[in-house]
C-alpha cells in the first residue's frame, strides 16, 4: 500500500472526517486490511488524532490492522447455521486449510474467521469470502472452495454451478444468494412501476403526504413500532438548515433477511420511499445505510442510484418540481449489530464508533451532523410508496385495527420452506407454521423477533403477530423437538449479545457475560435452583441500559426461563441449593499429587 | 420558556434552572444522586448507569436527562437504590479492584460509593480478567485493572485544538481506554494531573505522586461521598 494510494482515497472523500468509515472501507477493500502505517496519514489528513482513527477502526468487526490474507473467509456462527450443519463445515475448513478460526495460513494467503448472522438464514451454513456470499455450504463444497483458493482462482469465479434467482443473476450482482420469496403481498407485488407514487406525491403538499401516512396508521417496521407519520411530522416541524433521510438497511437481527431481498429485487421501491420522505420532511439528502455483509450489492445499488439521477428521480428539481432537490448516498457499515439502533447508525455514518446516543434529543430534532433526521426501516419506506399510491384507507384494509398493513417475515429453522413471506398482521404463529411447512407436533419452540424477541412454546402458538401482541421486526426461527434450546439457542444468542455490545453502558457490557457464566455452570451440570433465580434478577438490571440492544440482551435467558423452565431444572443438581460452581478438589489435584499431600477437604 | 422549572424528587418539590440536567438540579436542591461517569463541566455520557432514576415512570440517567416542568422523579426508593447498588457491584467483578493496595484509596469514587451503599462483597462471581498496566508513557500510568470505562478522560482531557488525548479501543467486554502515543509525549504535567483528577478510580495515575496526601487525610476519609451535597443547599 503506497502513500499515494491512501492519498487518493483521502482525496476522494475530500479529507472529510465524517467520511472516516468510507475511507477505512475503501482501504480495507483495496489492501485486505488497514495497514498501521496508514493511520498517521489518515489522522493527519482528517485533522484528528491517531487514537481517534483507532477508536473507530477497532470498533467494527470487519476492520483489521493485521493482514487477514488474500482470501478472507468469514463463516457465519448463527443458531440456524449451527442447526444446518455448520460444525462439519467449520471442521472441513480447518482441516483443508490447516488452521483454526481466527488464524491466517502461514503463507499469509488465507484467513479463517467467525462472524455473527450474515442475513442468509434461509440458506445456511453460509460464509462471506472477500465480500462474496457462499451459501448452502457442505464439507464437500468447502473442499472445492479450498481447492480453488489453492489454485489462486479469483473469488468471483468460485461459483458452485449457478447464481441465485432474480436480480442475483444480474451482471452487477452475480451472486449465489437465493431470494426464496414464498408469498407476496402489496409490498413485494412484482407489478410495481417505479415513479408512479412519487409523481403522485409531488402533486400533494408535504403535509398531505404526512396526513396520508397518519391515516394509514403505519408504524415503523424495524421492530420498535413508532408511528411513521408522527415521526415525519416531528422532523418536518423541527428547525434545521438541512434535514436528512436515513434508511436503516443494517439488518443485523439474527434470523432477519427480508431487507436483503428488498435491496435485491425492489431497490427502486425503497429509493422511491426515501425520495417521498425527502419531499414530505423537506430534506435534501438521503443516506442508505447498508450492513457490510451486503457489500456484494454495492455496484448494483450504485448503478440504480445513477439511473435514478439520469431519470431525475434524484437531483435538482425532481420531476420538474421546483425547489425539490434530493440525492441519496450509500453508507456501508463494517460489522456491528448495534448500528441498527438509529442513533448508533447516525454516529457510524458520521465516521465514529457505533455507540448509541443519549435521548433526548431524538434524531428528529438533532440527528445526522446535529440536523433533524428521520431513520426508517427498508420495509417502512417500501410501505409508504404503496400508501401514497393507494391511500391510507386502502392500507388500513390489511392487518388488524392496531397493526395495519402487511409484514415481511424472515422464516428459518426447522421448516420445509424457509424464506420471505409477506403476510397481513394478525396471523397467528400456528398459521405461520402451517404456511411454511412445519409440522406442529414436531415444533418445540419458535423464536419471534430474533434474539431480542421472545422464545415461545406450543401453548403460545395461538398468539398473533402485531404490535398489540407479538411485536416483531419479522424474524421467526423454528426449533424442532430434537434441538437443545438452552445449549444451542440461548447460549448462542447470549454470546451474540456479548460480541455485539458496544461496551458503553456498564450493564450491557457486563451482565451478559455474567449470564453466560451461569448458563455454562448449569449446562455443565453444576447448577442449583438459585442460579435460575439469579439470572432473572441480574437480567432485570439490563433495563437500565441506554439502548434497545442492552435492554433486550437478557431476553434469550429470561424468555427461555419463563417458557422452558423445566429444561433448566432438568439440568440442576439434585437436593442441593448451593454450589460454588468451582471444584476445589479438581483444582488442587495436580498440586496435591506433586507434593504428595492429601487435601483435607 | 420559564426560567425556573418545578420538579418533584421523591415527592419533594424542587426548583431549578431551565436547561439543567437532572443530576445537577438535584444537587443544587441538596439531593445527592450518585454517579461515576459524570464530571462537572464535561458533556454527559450516561455510560456508568449509576445515576439511573425513574423519571415519570421510566428509567433514565439523571446526568443526561434535561429537567422539565412537573417532572416526577423517583431517586431514593428501595427499587432504585437496590438497582444502583447492583450496578456498583458490577464494576467490582468486571475489573480487579484491590483497594488496600491502590494508590487512589480514599480519593476513589467507586470505593466511596461502595462504602455509601454498604457493599461488603459483590453478589456476582468475580470475572478476574487479565488486564494490562501500561507504564511506558512519560508522565502517567494507565492501570486497566481499575478502569471502569466511564469515558471521563476521553471527554475531558483535550489539547488546545480540542483533540482528545484519550480514546476507546475495541468494543463490548474487550473495550479499553488508550492514550494517543504522539499526543502523550506533548502532554503537560498539569494536564496529566488533571487526567488523574478526572479519573474516578485509580486507572490514571501521575508518576511519582501517589502518596503526596497520606492515607487517612484524603477526601473520602473526611466525609462520605455525597456528604457535601446533602449539607449545602443552594438555590
Contact B87 A544 (CB under 8 A): yes
Chains A, B: CB contacts within 8 A come to 122
Contact A49 B180 (CB under 8 A): yes
Question: Where are chain B's structural domains?
Answer: 4-76, 86-208
Report pLDDT digits (tens) over A368-402: 999 999 999 999 999 999 999 999 999 999 999 99
pLDDT at A586: 85
N-terminal to C-terminal alpha carbon distance within chain A: 62
Higher per-residue pLDDT: B105 or A578: B105
Give the separation between CA A108 and CA A102, rounded to whole angstroms. Answer: 13
Give the separation between CA A93 and CA A77, rounded to whole angstroms. Answer: 14
ipTM: 0.95
Phi, psi of B179 (to 5 degrees): -110, 130
Contact B171 A58 (CB under 8 A): yes
SS (H, E, C) chain B: CCCEEEEEECCEEEEEECCCEHHHHHHHCCCCCCCCCCCCCCCCCCCCCCCEEEECCEEEECCCCECCCCCEEECCCHHHHHHHHHHHHHHHHHCCCCHHHCCCCCCCHHHHHHHHCCCCCCCCCCCCCCCCEECCCCCEEEECCCCCCCCHHHHHCECCCCCECEEEECCHHHCEEEECHHHHHCCCHHHHHHHHHHCCCCCEEECCCCCCCCCCCCHHHHCCCCHHHHHCCCC
Q: For residue A376, with 0-12 CB atoms within 10 Å meaning exposed, 13-18 middle and 19 or more buried, which class applies? A: buried
Peptide bond into A360 cis (omega under 30): yes
pLDDT surpasses 60 at A242:
yes
Which residues 195-224 of B have a C-beta within 8 angstroms of A?
none
Q: Identify the band that residue A601 occupies on the pLDDT scale cut at 50, 70 and 90.
A: low
**Contact, A239 vs A367, CB < 8 A?**
no
Q: Quote the cell numbers at residue A557.
A: 435467558
pLDDT surpasses 50 at B234:
no
Q: For residue A286, how many other CB atoms are within 10 A of its CB?
A: 24
Q: How far is CA A326 from CA A236, A286, A310, A345, A378, in A?
A: 15, 7, 13, 21, 18
pLDDT at A581: 65
- pLDDT, mean of residues B59-73: 97
User: Architecture of A486-571 per CATH?
Assistant: Up-down Bundle (1.20)
Among A504, A520, A526, A539, most B C-beta atoms within 10 A, so best to mutate, is A504
Report pLDDT digits (tens) over A264-301: 999 999 999 999 999 999 999 999 999 999 999 999 99
- pLDDT, mean of residues A96-101: 97
Q: Which residue of A has its CA nearest to B54?
A: A544
Q: Which residue of A has its CA nearest to B172?
A: A503
pLDDT at A580: 72
Q: Identify the band that residue B2 occupies on the pLDDT scale cut at 50, 70 and 90.
A: low
Q: Could you give the 3-state DSSP secondary structure of residue A289?
A: strand
Q: What is the DSSP letter of A485?
A: I
Q: Quote the cell numbers at residue B107.
A: 480519593
Q: What is the DSSP letter of A84?
A: T
Hey, is the C-beta of A546 within 8 angstroms of any chain B C-beta?
yes
Report pLDDT digits (tens) over A433-465: 999 999 989 999 999 999 999 999 999 999 999
Contact A59 B167 (CB under 8 A): no
Hey, is the C-beta of A498 within 8 angstroms of any chain B C-beta?
yes
Residues 6+ apart with CB under 8 A from A65: A33, A34, A35, A36, A39, A57
Hey, is the C-beta of A348 within 8 angstroms of any chain B C-beta?
no
Q: Are A183-396 and A486-571 in the same CATH fold?
A: no
**Rounded-to-10 torsion of CA A512, A518, A519, A524:** 150
pLDDT surpasses 90 at A160:
no
Task: Decide which of 2.40.50.140, 3.40.30.10, 3.90.1150.10, 3.40.50.2000 is the CATH code for A71-161.
Answer: 3.40.30.10
pLDDT at A140: 96
Q: How far is B223 from chain A (nearest CA, A)?
A: 27
Task: Decide which of 3.40.50.1860, 3.40.50.300, 3.40.50.2000, 3.10.20.740 is the CATH code for B4-76.
Answer: 3.10.20.740
pLDDT surpasses 90 at A578:
no
Q: Identify the band that residue A509 occupies on the pLDDT scale cut at 50, 70 and 90.
A: very high
pLDDT surpasses 60 at B155:
yes
Collect all residues of chain B within an 8 Å Cβ-Cβ radius of residue A506. Answer: 47-50, 87, 90-91, 94, 148-149
**Contact, B200 vs B108, CB < 8 A?**
yes
- pLDDT, mean of residues A51-66: 96
Contact B172 A58 (CB under 8 A): no
Give the separation between CA A357 and CA A584, rounded to whole angstroms. Answer: 45
Burial A170-181 (b: 16+ CB within 10 A, else e): eeebbbbbbbbb
Across the interface, of A58, A514, A581, the residue whose CB is closest to B170 is A58
Across the interface, of A49, A55, A544, the residue whose CB is closest to B168 is A55
Across A267-341, the runs of DSSP E, i.e. the strands, are 285-290, 327-332
Among B168, B169, B179, B200, most A C-beta atoms within 10 A, so best to mutate, is B168
Round the average pLDDT of chain A to a whole number and report it.
95
Hey, is the C-beta of A358 within 8 angstroms of any chain B C-beta?
yes
Q: Quote the cell numbers at residue A31.
A: 489492501
Q: What is the CATH number of domain A406-483?
A: 3.10.20.600
Give the separation between CA A540 and CA A12, rounded to whole angstroms. Answer: 47
- pLDDT, mean of residues A573-586: 81
Hey, is the C-beta of A504 within 8 angstroms of any chain B C-beta?
yes
pLDDT surpasses 70 at A220:
yes
How far from chain centre, in Å, is Cα B158? 18
Q: What is the DSSP letter of A165?
A: S
Q: Which CATH class is domain A183-396?
A: alpha beta
- pLDDT, mean of residues A407-423: 97
pLDDT at A180: 97
Q: For residue A234, how many other CB atoms are within 10 A of its CB?
A: 17
Q: Which residue of B has its CA nearest to A531?
A: B124
Give, in degrees to the nearest 5, the angle at Cα A275 between A271 and A277: 115
pLDDT at B1: 54
Q: Identify the band that residue A1 occupies on the pLDDT scale cut at 50, 70 and 90.
A: low
Q: How far is B100 from chain A (nearest CA, A)?
A: 24
Q: How far is CA A471 from CA A372, A463, A539, in A?
A: 27, 11, 21
Alpha helix stretches (DSSP H) within A410-541: 429-436, 491-500, 506-523, 529-540
pLDDT at B235: 40
Report pLDDT digits (tens) over A164-219: 889 999 999 999 999 999 999 999 999 999 999 999 999 999 999 999 999 999 99
Q: Which residue of A has its CA nearest to B47?
A: A505
Amino acid at each position: 500500500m503506497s502513500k499515494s494510494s491512501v492519498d487518493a482515497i483521502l482525496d476522494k472523500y475530500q479529507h472529510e472526517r465524517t467520511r472516516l468509515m468510507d475511507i477505512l472501507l475503501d482501504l480495507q477493500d483495496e489492501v485486505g486490511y488497514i495497514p498501521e502505517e496508514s493511520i498517521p496519514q489518515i489522522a493527519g489528513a482528517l485533522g484528528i488524532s491517531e487514537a481517534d482513527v483507532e477508536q473507530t477502526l477497532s470498533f467494527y468487526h470487519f476492520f483489521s490492522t493485521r493482514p487477514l490474507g488474500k482470501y478472507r473467509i468469514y463463516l457465519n456462527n448463527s443458531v440456524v447455521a449451527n442447526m444446518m450443519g455448520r460444525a462439519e463445515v467449520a471442521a472441513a475448513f480447518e482441516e483443508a486449510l490447516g488452521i483454526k478460526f481466527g488464524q491466517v495460513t502461514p503463507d499469509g494467503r488465507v484467513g479463517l474467521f467467525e462472524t455473527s448472522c450474515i442475513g442468509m438464514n434461509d440458506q445456511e451454513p453460509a460464509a462471506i469470502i472477500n465480500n462474496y456470499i457462499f451459501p448452502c455450504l457442505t464439507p464437500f463444497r468447502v473442499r472445492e472452495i479450498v481447492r480453488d483458493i489453492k489454485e489462486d482462482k479469483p473469488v468471483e469465479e468460485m461459483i458452485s454451478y449457478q447464481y441465485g434467482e432474480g436480480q442475483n443473476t444480474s451482471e452487477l450482482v452475480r451472486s449465489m444468494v437465493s431470494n426464496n420469496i414464498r408469498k407476496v403481498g402489496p409490498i413485494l407485488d412484482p407489478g410495481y412501476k417505479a415513479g408512479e407514487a412519487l409523481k403522485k406525491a409531488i402533486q400533494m403538499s408535504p403535509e398531505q403526504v404526512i396526513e396520508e401516512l397518519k391515516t394509514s396508521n403505519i408504524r415503523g417496521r424495524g421492530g420498535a413500532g413508532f408511528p411513521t407519520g408522527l415521526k415525519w411530522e416531528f422532523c418536518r416541524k423541527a428547525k434545521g438548515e438541512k434535514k436528512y433521510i436515513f434508511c436503516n438497511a443494517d439488518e443485523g437481527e439474527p434470523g432477519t433477511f427480508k431487507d436483503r431481498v428488498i435491496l435485491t429485487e425492489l431497490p427502486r421501491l425503497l429509493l422511491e420511499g426515501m425520495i417521498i420522505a425527502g419531499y414530505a420532511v423537506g430534506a435534501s439528502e438521503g443516506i442508505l445505510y447498508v450492513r457490510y455483509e451486503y457489500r456484494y450489492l454495492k455496484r448494483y445499488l450504485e448503478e440504480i442510484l445513477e439511473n435514478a439521477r439520469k431519470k431525475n428521480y434524484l437531483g435538482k428539481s425532481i420531476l420538474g418540481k421546483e425547489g425539490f432537490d434530493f440525492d441519496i448516498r450509500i453508507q456501508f457499515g463494517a460489522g456491528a449489530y448495534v448500528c441498527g439502533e438509529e442513533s448508533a447508525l447516525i454516529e457510524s455514518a458520521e465516521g465514529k464508533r457505533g455507540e448509541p446516543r443519549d435521548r433526548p434529543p431524538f434524531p428528529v430534532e438533532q440527528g445526522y451532523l446535529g440536523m433533524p433526521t428521520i431513520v426508517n426501516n427498508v420495509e417502512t419506506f417500501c410501505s409508504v410508496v404503496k400508501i401514497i399510491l393507494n391511500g391510507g384507507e386502502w392500507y388500513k384494509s390489511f392487518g388488524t385495527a392496531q397493526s395495519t398493513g402487511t409484514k415481511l417475515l424472515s422464516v428459518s429453522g426447522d421448516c420445509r420452506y424457509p424464506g420471505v413471506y409477506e403476510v397481513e398482521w394478525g396471523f397467528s404463529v400456528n398459521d405461520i407454521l402451517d404456511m411454511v411447512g412445519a409440522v406442529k407436533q414436531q415444533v418445540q419452540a419458535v423464536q419471534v423477533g430474533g434474539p431480542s424477541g421472545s422464545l415461545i412454546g406450543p401453548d403460545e402458538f395461538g398468539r398473533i403477530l402485531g404490535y398489540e401482541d407479538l411485536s416483531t421486526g419479522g424474524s421467526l426461527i423454528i426449533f424442532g423437538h430434537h434441538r437443545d434450546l438452552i445449549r444451542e439457542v440461548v447460549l448462542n444468542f447470549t454470546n451474540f449479545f456479548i460480541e455485539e455490545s458496544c461496551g458503553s453502558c456498564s450493564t450491557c457490557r457486563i451482565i451478559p457475560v455474567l449470564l453466560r457464566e451461569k448458563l455454562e455452570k448449569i449446562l455443565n451440570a453444576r447448577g442449583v435452583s438459585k442460579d435460575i433465580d439469579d439470572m432473572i434478577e441480574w437480567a432485570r438490571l439490563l433495563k437500565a441500559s441506554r439502548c434497545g440492544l442492552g435492554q433486550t440482551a437478557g431476553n434469550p435467558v429470561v424468555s427461555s426461563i419463563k417458557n422452558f423452565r423445566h429444561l433448566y431444572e432438568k439440568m440442576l443438581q439434585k437436593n442441593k441449593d448451593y454450589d460454588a460452581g468451582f471444584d476445589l478438589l479438581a483444582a488442587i489435584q495436580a498440586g496435591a499429587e506433586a507434593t504428595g499431600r492429601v487435601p483435607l477437604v | 420558556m420559564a426560567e425556573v422549572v418545578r420538579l418533584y424528587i421523591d415527592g419533594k418539590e424542587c426548583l431549578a434552572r431551565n436547561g439543567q440536567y437532572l443530576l445537577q438540579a438535584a444537587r443544587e436542591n441538596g439531593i445527592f444522586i450518585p454517579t461515576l461517569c459524570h464530571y462537572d463541566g464535561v458533556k454527559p455520557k450516561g455510560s456508568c448507569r449509576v445515576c439511573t432514576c425513574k423519571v415519570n415512570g421510566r428509567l433514565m440517567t439523571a446526568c443526561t436527562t434535561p429537567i422539565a416542568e412537573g417532572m416526577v422523579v423517583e431517586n431514593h426508593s428501595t427499587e432504585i437504590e437496590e438497582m444502583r447498588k447492583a450496578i456498583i457491584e458490577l464494576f467490582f467483578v468486571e475489573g480487579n479492584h484491590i483497594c488496600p493496595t491502590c494508590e487512589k484509596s480514599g480519593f476513589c469514587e467507586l470505593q466511596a460509593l461502595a462504602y455509601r451503599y454498604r457493599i461488603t462483597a459483590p453478589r456476582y462471581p468475580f470475572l478476574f480478567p487479565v488486564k494490562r498496566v501500561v507504564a511506558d508513557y512519560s508522565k502517567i500510568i494507565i492501570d486497566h485493572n481499575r478502569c471502569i470505562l466511564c469515558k471521563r478522560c476521553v471527554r475531558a482531557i483535550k489539547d488546545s485544538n480540542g483533540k482528545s488525548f484519550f480514546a476507546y479501543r475495541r468494543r463490548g467486554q474487550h473495550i479499553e481506554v488508550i492514550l494517543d502515543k504522539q499526543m502523550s509525549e506533548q502532554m503537560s504535567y498539569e494536564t496529566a494531573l488533571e487526567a488523574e483528577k478526572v479519573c474516578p478510580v485509580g486507572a490514571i495515575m501521575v508518576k511519582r505522586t501517589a502518596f503526596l496526601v497520606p492515607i487517612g487525610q484524603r477526601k473520602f476519609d473526611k466525609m462520605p461521598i455525597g456528604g457535601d451535597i446533602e449539607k449545602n443547599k443552594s438555590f
